[in-house]
């Protein structure tokens, strides 16, 4: 599924839409996002040595996992409820393509979790268990 298809499921839009493509596999979901050459979040992180912040990597993993529970998002919004066992193993820079592999964790009512790993060139850069709570979508004005 490309960005246009993902925007039918997720409320995110540029510059915070951090998935280029995503697909369901027999093992879960595989998604990709290529970091732009000059993203706003590296302007001060760090001048002359741009590094993608860890929180952005977590958001890439979260958005890259959305197809796991897309059926629950018809009238709901998935908000972060927590992040556990998050680890960063490799620096990610502008121009890198991040591949996210996600599997479903626990699902209890309106709370669910996913296990996500992020790679650049098949080298682990981040991993963690991401928890979400499903809330009613806000009414647009």
pLDDT at 138 over 90: no
Domain that holds residue 100: 3-136
Q: What's the predicted TM-score (pTM) here? A: 0.94
Q: Predicted confidence band at 95 (pLDDT cuts at 50, 70, 90)?
A: very high
Q: Is 45 a catalytic residue?
A: yes
In a domain, 33, yes or no: yes
CATH number of the domain bearing residue 29: 3.10.129.10
**What is the rounded distance in angstroms from the CA atom of residue 100 to the CA atom of residue 56?**
13
**What is the rounded distance in angstroms from the CA atom of residue 100 to the CA atom of residue 29?**
8
**Closest-CA residue to 95 (of 34, 15, 44, 48):** 34
How many domains does the structure of the chain reveal?
1
**What is the rounded distance in angstroms from the CA atom of residue 3 to the CA atom of residue 9?**
10
Predicted confidence (pLDDT) per residue in 23-47, tens digit: 999 999 999 999 999 999 999 999 9
In a domain, 124, yes or no: yes
Catalytic residue among 21, 45, 76, 93: 45
In a domain, 141, yes or no: no
């Amino acid at each position: 599924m490309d960005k246009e298809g993902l925007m039918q499921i997720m409320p995110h839009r540029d510059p915070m839409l951090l998935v280029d493509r995503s697909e369901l596999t027999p093992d879960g979901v595989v998604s990709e996002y290529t970091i732009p050459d000059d993203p706003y979040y590296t302007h001060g992180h760090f001048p002359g040595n741009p590094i993608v912040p860890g929180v952005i990597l977590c958001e890439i993993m979260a958005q890259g996992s959305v197809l796991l529970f897309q059926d629950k998002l018809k009238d709901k919004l998935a908000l972060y409820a927590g992040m556990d066992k998050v680890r960063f193993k490799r620096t990610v820079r502008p121009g890198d393509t991040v591949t996210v592999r996600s599997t479903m964790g626990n699902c209890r009512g309106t709370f669910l979790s996913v296990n996500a790993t992020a790679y650049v060139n098949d080298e682990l850069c981040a991993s963690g268990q991401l928890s979400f709570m499903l809330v009613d979508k806000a009414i647009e004005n």
